[in-house]
Amino acid sequence: MLAVWNPDQPEITDLIIQYDPKTLERLPVRKSDVLDVFAGFGNRKALRAVAALPDHQGLLDNRAIDRILISTHWEMQRLAEEFYHGHRVWDLLRRVVATVRATGYRDKLRVIDVGCGIGYTTRWLAAHIPLQKHGIDVVGMDLNSTLIREATRLAAAEHLNCQFVQGDAFSREHSGHIYLSTGVIHHFRGESLREFLRRHEQPDTFAFLHYDFQPSVLAPFGSWFFHYLRMRTAIARHDGVLSAVRAHRANTLVDAARSAVPAFASGIYGAKIWKTPAPRVFHTLFGVRRPLLDELPRQLGIRIVRLGELR
Amino acid sequence: MTLFVLYVLALLDGLLCGARVSMGRCAVIAKRAYYIRAQLRGVIGAQIISTISLVALILVALLSARRAALHIDLEAAAERMLWVFIPYAILVVGNILLRLIPSTDIRSATSVMMLGPLTAIRPLIMIVGVSYGIWSSKFWETRLLGLFVLSLMLGLEFALNRLAANQQSREIALLVGN
């Protein structure tokens, strides 16, 4: 296996910016610590990308890292745009919302975009969907203050009706009725994946929709080609390909969800293109409260064929 | 007529180059105005290149002692180039038109599987098209002009890309600081 395709290693952006999970204070990052991690995996591509990052007395330069993060996330947004990700999310989310409404729930629904980055999905929804009419509040949450600041700036520039918060999406203060994420869930491995899913077990939560790369034999090659053509920064190219390599298989996600949050019926949505065996680039770990199971097929309509076994 | 078709293709190429280099460099949701400006920059760039090429062509023709024969040779070279450029343009435009179909899967697929690779091979297409055009030409003036135009075409995307990168760096520096 190529060192750069080793799924056991973290992505560069996982390491070059660190926050205290309790205080949300940004922590200094020693460049040599990051280099040591990738040296351990023999990943020369990552070593070159990290070595090029500016530092002061061994600590990564925060401003330089912020500049890289923003340009990387702007590029990542382009991928989401090319995949029509906003349309895809709304196509499922609206049916989940309709399912919840059909059970008689009339209050505002709080949709949390977990690990929202610069908030593309959240802002797309706010820009294209009459959220007030649907009785939905969309909130983008992330631990990264730079990205939340940028998301807030972008939303304000377009007068979008959405909110961005730096913090823990599963805390009592911020908890949501529906959780969604994009390209986040593969960052959680092993027990931390189950722990992440376990945190969805909150009194108000009806459903979750976690979009991520769908692994396949060809996915790393396709991802490499796509990122090589589309991304401009070395870190974006590296992490983009590694994300596809690290993406969880459907059964890993479903098994983790079913064991971590048994009160939700979980399954995979949108794995194949129409009724063909061709896989979609993204698939969705989908979970709903069991009392919603009777109504859900009615609201999904013909989209029901996209839903795998839900239990 | 051949020159006019090449001119139209150059403008189309400039328009697409302008769009391509601007992608991933603006994160607002409504980007129509941004893309129109970027495409306009591309078209203006292509227009400048076309004008320079035309001036070069006229100069070469004026300075040549065998003007009539050179005219025929240039015309033949340009026609051969179209055998490469027109199918490429049809493929690109055809894929862009496919995106009118309101299916997220089809739109994504055209992007990932067609427009991406077609974008990647653009420089190669330029080199193959011009080389095929001038390969069997009889006059060194035709070959020299072909190579001159090729260098301008390849330089266009590079220049537009530098322009967009500098603009992006300035914007990000304003957000984060230097």
pLDDT tens per residue, range B157-169: 999 999 999 999 9
Q: Does B23 sit within 8 Å of A124, measured CB to CB? A: no
Scanning A103-190, the segments in alpha helix (DSSP H) are: 120-128, 131-134, 145-157
Q: Which residue segments constitute the domains of chain A, with CATH numbers given?
A: 3-65 (no CATH), 71-306 (3.40.50.150)
Q: What is the value of pTM for the model shown?
A: 0.92
CA distance A109 to A294: 20
Which member of B27, B105, B107 has the closest CB to residue A77? B27
Q: According to the model, what pLDDT value does residue A21 have?
A: 83
Q: What is the pLDDT of residue A180?
A: 98
Task: Write the residue in B24, B30, B177 that is nearest to A230 by C-beta.
Answer: B24
Residue A32 and residue A51: Cα distance in Å, rounded?
9
Q: Which residues of chain B have pLDDT under 70?
A: 178
Tokens of A25: 């204070």
pLDDT of residue B153: 94
Range of the domain at B54: 2-176
User: What pLDDT shows up at residue A228?
Assistant: 84
Per-residue confidence (pLDDT) for residue B20, from 0 to 100: 93
On whether any CB of chain B is under 8 Å from the CB of A154, the answer is yes
pLDDT in tens, chain A (311 residues): 788 889 999 999 999 999 998 899 999 999 999 999 999 999 999 999 999 999 999 999 999 999 999 999 999 999 999 899 999 999 999 999 999 999 999 999 999 999 999 999 999 999 999 999 999 999 999 999 999 999 999 999 999 999 999 999 999 899 999 999 999 999 999 999 999 999 999 999 999 999 999 998 888 888 888 888 888 999 999 999 999 999 999 999 999 999 999 999 999 999 988 778 888 889 999 999 999 999 999 999 999 999 999 99
> Which residues of B fall within a CB distance of 8 Å from A303?
none
Residues of A in contact with B165 (CB under 8 A): 232
How many folded domains does chain B comprise?
1
Containing A142, the helix (H) or strand (E) segment is strand A136-142
User: What is the structure's pLDDT at A134?
Assistant: 95
Hey, what long-range contacts does A301-309 have (CB within 8 A, 24 or more apart)?
A301/A95, A303/A91, A303/A92, A303/A95, A305/A275, A306/A269, A306/A270, A306/A271, A306/A272, A307/A267, A307/A268, A307/A269, A308/A250, A308/A254, A308/A267, A308/A268, A308/A269, A308/A271, A309/A267
What SS3 class is residue B121? coil
Residue among A157, A158, A229 whose CB faces B120 most closely: A229
Separation between Cα atoms, residue A284 and residue A296, nearest integer Å: 16
A124 and chain B in contact, CB less than 8 A? yes
